[in-house]
Amino acid sequence: MSRPIKSHTYLFASLLLFLSFFLRLSLISKGPFHIDCLCLAINAQKTLEHHQLPYQFGTGYPLTVLTGAFFVGLTHLFSLHDPVFSVNLMSVVLSSLSVLIFYLFIKDLFDARTAFFSALALSLHPIFLGLSVYGNSHIVSVFFLLSGLYAFTRTDKRSRYFLFSLCLGFMGASRIQDMLLVLPPLSVLWMSGGKGPGLSPKSRIKSMLACFSAAVLIAALFHAPYLMEKGHAGYVGQLKIFWEIGLVHNFRGVISPNLWVSIKNLGFSTTYVGALIAGYGIFKMLHEKRHIALFLICWLFVPLFFYGNLYSAVPRFFLIASLPLIIAEGYGFGSLLVFKHNAVKAGVAAVFCLVILLPLVTNIFPILSFRHSRALLPEWGRYIGTITEPNALIIAGDDELFLQYYGQRKTLYRPKDAFQLNPRQFNDFKHGLAVSLSAGIPVYITATGLFSYDPDKEFSSYIRDNYRLAFRGKKMIEDWHRGELYLERKTDEIFRIEK
């Protein structure tokens, strides 16, 4: 049977929830920081209006889209009709609830001290906080993962099977790649003893396979509409592209130069002192709670060795690997408080405050404050809409959705590849550009559209050799590609293409 929760636990958990929510709401992004956020907002709005489930690039992220649609509908009740704000609010709410659930889960797994340190460290962790203020699939996925883990430790045996499978399936419906990456560590937790269900190894294996199978089935049911609708060929096609771009060409091997860069990003977010304390926590745990230590080690390294070896590794990918590191860090700080000397306790408290506040003050807080007051890419899109004709075509880079949504301008597709442009697509583009100009349609190109995805300068050389570029304007934009921990501002320009 589960242990009763004391009233003071509810009081502290409620205070933690309130403070986390207030911090995030005060920093909520003014616009869509990332193109995935804008795409999610558009798809959530479409879901609410047309009662059909559009998919995001990649695996589709159906439950993320549905959750976004729920928040769009919820904000409509309060006469707030900006879907971008709605999905940003989604991350604010779910991340705050995640901190609450994380605290209760760690308290059940260890004790109140460890839960206190871990929950505060999570709430202010740069990667988690950076993802908490704009709409994305990572926060939704982590919310369901932590809910499942809390159900696993908290509920009685019968409810545990159902709630754990349900939450894990919801995680897969939100972000299936992360669900697959946590299955190995969850297997370690399940089989290593502790609070895992069942007594004998054989019964543990049976119950584990049953729960995992149910979770995979739940995730598959959410993805099923993409394969059953008339346009399923488009979804299958983008899955193939996602597999090729996201894994086959993107994965550099188990240990690659990218791994060390990824470890530095993870260490920067946790701080190197925090990482040392986490190492101490794991060392202590191996002697006191060995099964949990093995679970956390597996949880840290499986996602790290996958995402860390991608060419396109960015900080948000490591949110899933940050969680066990934060737990180990909380356990390490909690273990240091066993010393009875007040000076030692004060020193531990001071080091903890330094570890969680230094990255906040010097890095993520100023960045999020800027994004709370300015939305450079939407401003860029609106600017394009004011200086170009209503029937103009814009050749852009990855920011083309911003120009379509905020600038209300159509874009002319151009081939994009980091390694080699597709000859057939390039020829189609040349033909389309020539036809548009011959028909008297004004065509513009941004500097990003001219020079990005341009191996061997093949694309930019063709444009400049065959057309005249007339400068029309410039404005500051923000580049999201390096992730939430970086404020990448630069000036983009727009030119009119003339024969």
Q: 256 pLDDT exceeds 50?
A: yes
Least confident of 143-147, 305-309, 464-468: 305-309
Pairing outcome for strands 443-446 and 393-395? parallel
Confidence band (pLDDT; 50, 70, 90) for 257?
Answer: confident
Q: Which amino acid is at 309?
A: N
What distance in Å separates the CA atoms of residue 360 and residue 358, rounded to the nearest whole number?
A: 5
**Per-residue pLDDT reduced to its tens digit, 154-174:** 766 677 788 999 999 999 999
The mean per-residue pLDDT over the stretch 171-199 comes to 83
* Average pLDDT of the chain, as a whole number: 90
Which of 112, 178, 150, 210 has its CA nearest to residue 2? 150
Bridge partners (DSSP) listed for residue 443: 393, 497
What distance in Å separates the CA atoms of residue 146 and residue 200, rounded to the nearest whole number?
A: 26
Q: What's the confidence (pLDDT) of residue 196? A: 47
> How open is the CA angle 402-406-410, to the nearest 5 degrees?
70
**Per-residue pLDDT reduced to its tens digit, 88-98:** 999 999 999 99
> How open is the CA angle 492-498-499, to the nearest 5 degrees?
145
Q: What's the confidence (pLDDT) of residue 253? A: 73
Q: What is the pTM of this model?
A: 0.92
Residue 9's alpha-carbon distances to 117, 123, 327, 471, in angstroms, are 14, 17, 18, 62
> What are the two backbone dihedrals, phi and then psi, of residue 199, each rounded to the nearest 5 degrees?
-110, -55
**Per-residue pLDDT reduced to its tens digit, 472-491:** 999 999 999 988 999 999 99
What distance in Å separates the CA atoms of residue 377 and residue 31, rounded to the nearest whole number?
A: 8
What distance in Å separates the CA atoms of residue 224 and residue 307, rounded to the nearest whole number?
A: 26
- Does 198 or 143 have the greater pLDDT score? 143
Give the tokens for residue 213: 């199978």
**Per-residue pLDDT reduced to its tens digit, 448-458:** 999 998 888 99
**Per-residue pLDDT reduced to its tens digit, 360-416:** 999 899 999 999 999 999 999 999 999 999 999 999 999 999 999 999 999 999 988
Bridge partners (DSSP) listed for residue 495: 445, 471
- Does 451 or 230 have the greater pLDDT score? 451
Number of other residues whose CB lies within 10 A of the CB of residue 184? 13
What distance in Å separates the CA atoms of residue 367 and residue 134, rounded to the nearest whole number?
A: 13
